[in-house]
């Protein structure tokens, strides 16, 4: 037989199906967001791992160097002098085919056996690998890639790479399964890849598979390497690349947890509502011999049911929307970090379990207080609400004190700690602390309003006085709304400040009128260079007053790469780079000595300060460069090392130029200058030209795209909060039906009653919006000065924007209005008699 | 009858033999097999060679040292170094180091990485004392110095396996894992032309022939290293050189090749092309060269080889590891026995090649020797 308490419990849940359903929906949304973010993060990570794995094959180590890569002879030496059999040469580059980017992997099919099965001669038909070996430009694509880009086997197609056109021929198809996660991969022979790169006799890396005698072999390999080359474990290289995006994915997870927390508010609210409403019932049950434990278990079981339903729904929904989210995450990763083709979003057991645990355990935890409350109901139950409200009212100052302590803790944590995790802890403390203080503040404000209205009309008195009446529930609802709204405000302020800072930075940094780079070029690679003759012609154009010259390359330094930006800027009287540390002396050192400037994130990630030294591997051996100063740069969250072009050329044998900034003579029209630049490059190199204005616009567009996903999460969070407020305010009004009926009986018209109810809820909503302003501002400070600084190393000024604050107030009011309308309408429709008999 | 049937096991097997991995087990008619390089080539490039390749049509006079180097106009070529080496205390080692050159298409294509030539090589050491046999295989394009061959100074190499030198002083070096052979070779005798002034016919079809010479008796001194132990050795090395474009005829399924250093100072080479019934083909032949420089060419009717005992290889195929060679015209009979049975190279086309000892008599006089035996085309389906 089902225990009596359980049956009573089930009846309780079903008594207000809408209330229960909304609670489940709210938590389900939270779980959905969390699960979807988790799946998307994992999907991106898996796609990345898969592609790294497939590309590295079974390699245990890579020999890397930079930026020019390795001479063929290094590889020949490993095989011929060292007798290493499991070594494979690799030339990697990217090319453009229409709007698609093809990732070209140049290999020796005869050396691939130990590494990438799909590229080994044995996996290919003899006719195919013979063509690969013999024909310049012969490539293999996966069937899916070939179909998408619309190339048939046997067909020739033209691609662009660093301003030059090349003809490739699709001679065969890659094994679809073995190249999973490698969409847009084009496999070609090493000879073809070298000529595509325009770097004969250079390899981008050498893959090794070392097993026995690893230490000895490593030592022997090292002895053969040129000074700028290093040998790194494949796993370390993959990890170093993947970690680039670590802070980004952690931020997403944190935001998704916020949605869950707000969902849990909702559960608490519903359970509390259910318990309060059934106090009488619990009293009766206890009187007929049901034990306290049974009551406790029954209430917890309810929470368990709600949580399980919510978790199940949330997991299903999260799984369903994860694909969309993954596309967003993937695009950001592609914009900012590394090229990854995000494949399928698949629900992993880990995501599923996490979602389940969050939903169920969270739900149980948030029902604990209501359950204890139910357990404590004495058999001779006090039927009236008042004593409880009074008791709840008694807890409020304590809660507020705890909240204040948490807020203080958040402040201390933010200031004294250094880690990103501690930053998130401070963030959590701020939100929870605020939430705890909200009910007391609401009650206090309600009481104050009540006092103010004492001499006003009766309707006023009832309206304002009633606000703090149901504080045990309204407090929680308002707290949930405050958390959601302040998160919205905080994030919006952070993003807004960030955007202003980026705009300022673009303004001051981008000074040239036209930026010139090779068409179809890819950043950071050595082959992306302008034709020297084209550079000379552009510099000599009559319309051109001056040019800035930049070389951007990635220097392999062990497992990681150092983005190196070598520049020669024209003397325009004013520097376009803003120094954060180092001062005038830094510029003198930069201009004349073996010194570099590092961008703020680079200094942050590598713990560098002005005056430190930076060791870089160069073809002349490892060299130390003085860090003369730190400059502001929002272009890369990894950071950049900036060097005088002449100094770069002293150490690296690379005369290449990645881009030109063209300064026009005053009065020269942009269109004419652009046309003449194109004209001088005609027939020599295809150029990508960007006017100053366009470059700024594109840069900001990338910035906005980066925060698109943040915006989506923010709105999902608000939706959960809206559900919370709608259910709790709705329930409150429902419960007050007897009181409301009395007011009607005392002569209040239905319209007046409805207005009163709506006014009460709107006031609560506005109050939440108001509270969200300071909390949101505090939150944005944490996000800007703690989270952003610790995750990415960027500093920026806080900009107080009015719109997010107004938004919070408006949302608060609107949401509350929405929440008030239904109960207002219902109460107004009810006859006083029905209300008085109710319950 | 056993036929040469490739197994779908090795990538190069699949690649060179024209199989895609999915097509294993359906290879159609097994093509004829002679030396391993031959079979690889034929299956990779099809029975009919591109007419752009040069062919061995007429006898020729070899030109040394140039002819020690490669002949890229021909489709394939090999350098076979084999020998029995003796360490102090009577321990003997056999070794084989063979380089194959294969042209993927006719013509000159020699860029830094791109080339129409591919090299592959086998390296094997027999250690009858320890009962161990080690075999390795390598394949490479010439690339920027990975593999290649040259006449003067002489060189043929693939990665760290090489034979190099000039004049008559060559150095042979090969190692893999914990095994290494390092020999100084003294090439003091004139090479011996096989067949008709170097033209070795395989069938009646003109062009189905190779240019074939041997340097049968090269004094070798050096060491064999197995693990941490270095064994100083000396002995005689046999070099077999052959280049060609033609294919075997369809009625030849394999061959047995004997190369013996005999203790009267002579060298006996016999190759026996087998037909599908295991019978010697009409174009089987041999060369008996003597210490005084005299050379006798042997025809199919001049010798008879009888298998005495067989050994079953791990792949199930059976190789005769003991033979009776009878040369009635020379009144000679030799019993040829493997120094150890498992000298089977588990490479892309598996074959047996190993050190042998010969005992017998010629014209009533005892005659003994040692050398190498190669057997191909025994693989079971």
Q: Cα–Cα distance between A81 and A59 in angstroms, integer?
A: 20
CA end-to-end span of chain A, whole Å? 28
- More confident site: A215 or B265: B265
Query: Could you give the angle at the alpha carbon of B70 between the alpha carbons of B75 and B209, nearest 5°?
Result: 45
B182 part of contact set with chain A, CB < 8 Å: no
- Is the pLDDT score of A40 beyond 90? no
Beta-sheet pairing, A659-664 with A579-581: unpaired
Partner residue opposite A122 with nearest CB, options B11, B105, B111: B11
A73 part of contact set with chain B, CB < 8 Å: yes
What tokens does A139 get? 């490539």
Predicted pLDDT at A346: 74
Q: Cα–Cα distance between B159 and B139 in angstroms, integer?
A: 9
Partner residue opposite A130 with nearest CB, options B14, B104, B111: B104
A76 part of contact set with chain B, CB < 8 Å: yes
Partner residue opposite B160 with nearest CB, options A80, A125, A134: A80
Partner residue opposite B144 with nearest CB, options A73, A120, A121: A73
- B284 phi/psi in degrees, rounded to 5: -65, 145
Residues 6+ apart with CB under 8 A from A536: none
Contacts of B145 in chain A (CB under 8 A): 73, 76, 80
Predicted pLDDT at B91: 94
Partner residue opposite B141 with nearest CB, options A108, A124, A200: A108
Q: Determine, for residues B112 and A201 on separate chains, whether the beta-carbon distance falls below 8 Å.
A: yes
What is the number of CB-based contacts under 8 A between chain A and chain B?
85
Confidence bin at B278 (pLDDT 50/70/90) = confident
Closest chain A C-alpha to B18 CA, distance in angstroms: 5
Q: B17: nearest CA in chain A?
A: A126
The answer to ipTM > 0.90 is: no
Partner residue opposite B114 with nearest CB, options A72, A191, A201: A191
Closest chain A C-alpha to B160 CA, distance in angstroms: 4
- Is the pLDDT score of A560 beyond 60? yes
Helix H, strand E, coil C: the string for A310-356 is HHHHHHHHHHHHHHHHHHHHHHHHHHHCCCCCCCCCCCCHHHHHHHH
Q: Give the residue-averaged pLDDT of A560-567.
A: 88
Confidence bin at A41 (pLDDT 50/70/90) = confident
Confidence bin at A5 (pLDDT 50/70/90) = low
Looking at the DSSP bridge assignments, the partners of residue A579 are A631
Predicted pLDDT at A775: 92
> Judged by CB atoms within 8 Å, which residues 25-44 of B form the interface with A?
44
Partner residue opposite B21 with nearest CB, options A76, A123, A189: A123
What tokens does A805 get? 């604050």
Percent of chain A with pLDDT over 70: 87
Of the given ranges (A381-385, A712-716, B150-154), which has the lowest mean pLDDT? A381-385
B229 part of contact set with chain A, CB < 8 Å: no
Q: Give the residue-averaged pLDDT of A722-737.
A: 69
B22 part of contact set with chain A, CB < 8 Å: no
Of the given ranges (A2-6, A81-85, A207-211, A553-557), which has the lowest mean pLDDT? A2-6
Q: Determine, for residues A134 and B10 on separate chains, whether the beta-carbon distance falls below 8 Å.
A: no
Mutation target for A interface from B75, B143, B144, B227: give the one with most A CBs within 10 A.
B143
- Is the pLDDT score of B29 beyond 50? no
- Give the CA dihedral A514, A515, A521, A524, nearest 10 degrees: -170
Tens digit of each residue's pLDDT (9 = 90 or more) over A248-283:
677 677 767 766 766 676 677 667 666 766 777 777
Q: Give the residue-averaged pLDDT of A787-803.
A: 84
Partner residue opposite B12 with nearest CB, options A76, A111, A122: A122
Minimal CA–CA distance to B177: which of A61, A57, A213?
Answer: A213
Q: B177: nearest CA in chain A?
A: A83
Q: Give the residue-averaged pLDDT of A708-718.
A: 70
Mean pLDDT estimate for chain A: 82
Contacts of B142 in chain A (CB under 8 A): none
Predicted pLDDT at B6: 31
B21 part of contact set with chain A, CB < 8 Å: yes
- Is the pLDDT score of B264 beyond 70? yes
A113 part of contact set with chain B, CB < 8 Å: yes
Asked if A597 and A564 count as a contact pair (C-beta separation under 8 A), the reply is no
Confidence bin at A525 (pLDDT 50/70/90) = confident
Look-up: residue for tokens 């309003």? A449
Q: Cα–Cα distance between B62 and B65 in angstroms, integer?
A: 9
Tens digit of each residue's pLDDT (9 = 90 or more) over A585-641:
899 999 999 999 999 989 988 999 999 999 998 888 889 999 999 999 887 777 899
A107 part of contact set with chain B, CB < 8 Å: no
H/E element, A442: helix A420-452
What tokens does A360 get? 């169920």
A122 part of contact set with chain B, CB < 8 Å: yes
Minimal CA–CA distance to A267: which of A36, A58, A476?
Answer: A476
Contacts of B14 in chain A (CB under 8 A): 122
Contacts of A83 in chain B (CB under 8 A): 159-160, 175-176
Minimal CA–CA distance to B174: which of A212, A83, A87?
Answer: A83
């Amino acid at each position: 037989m089902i225990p009596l308490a359980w049956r009573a419990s089930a009846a309780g849940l079903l008594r207000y199906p809408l209330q229960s359903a909304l609670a489940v929906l709210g938590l389900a949304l939270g779980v959905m967001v969390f699960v979807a973010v988790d799946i998307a993060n994992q999907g991106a990570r898996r796609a990345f791992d898969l592609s790294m794995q497939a590309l590295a094959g079974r390699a245990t180590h890579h020999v890397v160097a930079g930026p020019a890569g390795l001479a063929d002879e290094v590889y020949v030496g490993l095989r011929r002098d060292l007798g290493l059999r499991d070594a494979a040469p690799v030339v990697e580059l990217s090319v453009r085919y229409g709007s698609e980017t093809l990732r070209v992997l140049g290999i020796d099919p005869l050396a691939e056996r130990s590494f990438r099965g799909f590229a080994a001669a044995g996996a290919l038909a003899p006719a195919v690998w013979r063509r690969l070996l013999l024909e310049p430009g012969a490539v293999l694509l996966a069937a899916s890639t070939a179909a998408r880009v619309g190339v048939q086997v046997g067909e020739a197609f033209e691609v662009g790479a660093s301003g030059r056109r090349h003809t490739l021929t699709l001679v065969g198809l890659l094994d679809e399964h073995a190249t999973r996660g490698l969409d847009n991969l084009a496999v070609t022979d090493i000879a073809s890849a070298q000529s595509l790169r325009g770097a004969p006799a250079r390899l981008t890396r050498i893959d090794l598979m070392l097993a026995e005698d690893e230490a000895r072999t490593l030592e022997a390999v090292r002895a053969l390497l040129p000074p700028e080359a290093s040998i790194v474990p494949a796993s370390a290289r993959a990890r170093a690349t993947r970690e680039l995006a670590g802070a980004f994915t952690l931020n997403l997870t944190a935001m998704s947890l916020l949605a869950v927390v707000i969902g849990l508010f909702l559960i608490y609210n519903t359970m509390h509502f259910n318990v309060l409403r059934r106090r009488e019932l619990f009293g009766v049950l206890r009187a007929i011999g049901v034990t306290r434990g049974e009551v406790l278990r029954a209430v917890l079981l309810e929470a368990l049911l709600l949580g399980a339903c919510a978790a199940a729904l949330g997991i299903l929904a999260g799984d369903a929307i994860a694909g969309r989210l993954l596309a967003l995450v993937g695009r950001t990763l592609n914009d900012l970090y590394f090229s990854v083709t995000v494949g399928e979003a698949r629900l992993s057991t880990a995501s599923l379990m996490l979602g389940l645990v969050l939903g169920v355990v969270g739900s149980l935890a948030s029902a604990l207080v209501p359950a204890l409350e139910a357990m404590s109901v004495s058999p001779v139950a006090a039927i009236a609400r008042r004593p409880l409200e009074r008791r709840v009212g008694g807890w409020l100052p304590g809660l507020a004190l705890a909240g204040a302590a948490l807020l203080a803790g958040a402040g201390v944590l933010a200031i004294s700690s250094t880690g990103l995790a501690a930053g998130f802890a401070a963030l959590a403390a701020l939100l929870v602390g605020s939430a705890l203080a909200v009910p007391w503040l609401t009650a206090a404000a309600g009481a104050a309003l009540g006092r103010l209205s004492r001499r006003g009309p009766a309707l006023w008195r009832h309206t304002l006085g009633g606000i703090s009446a149901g504080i045990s529930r309204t407090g929680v609802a308002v707290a949930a709304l405050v958390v959601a709204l302040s998160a919205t405000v905080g994030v919006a302020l952070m993003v807004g400040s960030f955007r202003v800072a980026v705009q300022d930075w673009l303004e001051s940094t981008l000074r040239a009128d036209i930026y010139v780079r090779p068409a179809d070029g890819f950043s950071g690679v050595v082959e992306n260079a302008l034709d020297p003759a084209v550079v000379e012609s552009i510099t000599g154009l009559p319309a051109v007053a001056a040019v800035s010259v930049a070389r951007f390359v990635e220097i392999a330094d062990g497992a990681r790469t150092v983005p190196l930006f070598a520049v020669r800027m024209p003397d325009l009287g004013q520097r376009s780079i803003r120094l954060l540390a180092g001062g005038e002396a830094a510029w003198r050192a930069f201009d004349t000595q073996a010194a570099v400037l590092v961008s703020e994130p680079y200094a942050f990630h590598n713990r560098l300060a002005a005056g430190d030294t930076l060791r870089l591997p160069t073809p002349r051996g490892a060299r130390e460069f003085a860090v003369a100063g730190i400059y502001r740069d929002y272009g890369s969250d990894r950071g950049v090392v900036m060097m005088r072009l002449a100094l770069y050329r002293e150490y690296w044998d690379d005369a290449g130029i990645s881009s030109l900034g063209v300064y026009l003579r005053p009065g020269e029209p942009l269109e004419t200058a652009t046309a003449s630049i194109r004209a001088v490059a005609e027939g020599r190199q295809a150029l990508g030209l960007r006017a100053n204005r366009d470059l700024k616009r594109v840069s900001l567009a990338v910035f906005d795209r980066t925060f698109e996903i943040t915006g989506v999460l923010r709105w999902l969070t608000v939706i959960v909060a809206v559900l919370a407020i709608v259910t709790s305010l709705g329930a409150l009004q429902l419960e007050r039906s007897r009181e409301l009926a009395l007011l009607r009986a005392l002569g209040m018209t239905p319209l007046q009653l409805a207005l009163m109810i709506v006014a009460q809820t709107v006031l609560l909503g506005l109050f939440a919006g108001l509270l969200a302003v300071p909390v949101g501002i505090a939150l944005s400070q944490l996000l800007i000065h703690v989270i952003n600084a610790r995750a990415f190393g960027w500093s920026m000024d806080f900009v107080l924007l009015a719109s997010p604050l107004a938004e919070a107030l408006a949302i608060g009011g609107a949401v509350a209005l929405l929440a008030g309308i239904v109960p207002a309408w219902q109460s107004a429709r009810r006859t006083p008699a029905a209300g008085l008999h109710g319950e | 009858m056993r036929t040469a049937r490739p197994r779908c096991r090795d990538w190069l097997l699949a690649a060179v033999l024209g199989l895609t991995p999915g097509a294993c087990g359906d290879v159609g008619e097994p093509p004829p097999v002679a030396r391993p390089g031959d079979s690889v080539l034929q299956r990779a490039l099809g029975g009919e060679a591109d007419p752009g390749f040069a062919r061995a049509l007429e006898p020729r006079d070899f030109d040394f040292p140039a002819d020690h180097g490669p002949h890229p106009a021909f489709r394939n070529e090999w350098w076979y170094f084999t020998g029995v080496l003796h360490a102090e205390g009577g321990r003997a080692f056999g070794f084989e180091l063979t380089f194959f050159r294969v042209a993927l298409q006719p013509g000159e294509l020699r860029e830094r990485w791109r080339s129409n030539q591919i090299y592959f090589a086998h390296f094997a050491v027999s250690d009858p004392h320890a009962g161990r046999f080690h075999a390795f295989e390598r394949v490479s394009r010439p690339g920027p110095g990975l593999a290649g061959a040259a006449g003067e100074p002489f060189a043929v190499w693939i990665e760290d396996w090489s034979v190099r030198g000039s004049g008559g002083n060559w150095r042979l070096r090969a190692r893999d894992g914990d095994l290494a052979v390092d020999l100084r070779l003294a090439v003091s005798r004139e090479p011996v032309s096989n067949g008709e002034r170097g033209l070795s016919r395989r069938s009646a079809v003109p062009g189905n022939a190779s240019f074939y010479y041997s340097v049968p008796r090269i004094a070798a001194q050096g060491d064999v290293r197995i693990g941490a132990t270095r064994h100083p050795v000396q002995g005689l090395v046999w070099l077999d050189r052959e280049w060609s474009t033609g294919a075997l005829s369809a009625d030849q399924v394999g061959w047995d090749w004997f190369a013996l250093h005999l203790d009267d100072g002579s060298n006996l080479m016999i190759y026996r092309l087998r037909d599908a019934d295991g019978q010697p083909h009409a174009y089987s032949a041999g060369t008996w060269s003597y210490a005084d420089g005299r050379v006798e060419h042997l025809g199919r009717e001049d010798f008879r080889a009888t298998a005495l005992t067989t050994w079953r290889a791990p792949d199930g195929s059976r190789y005769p590891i003991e033979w009776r060679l009878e040369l009635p015209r020379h009144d000679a009979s030799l019993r040829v026995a493997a120094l150890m049975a498992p000298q089977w190279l588990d490479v892309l086309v598996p074959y047996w090649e190993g050190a042998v000892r010969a005992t017998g008599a010629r014209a009533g006089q005892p005659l003994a020797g040692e050398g190498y035996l190669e057997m191909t085309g025994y693989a079971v389906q």
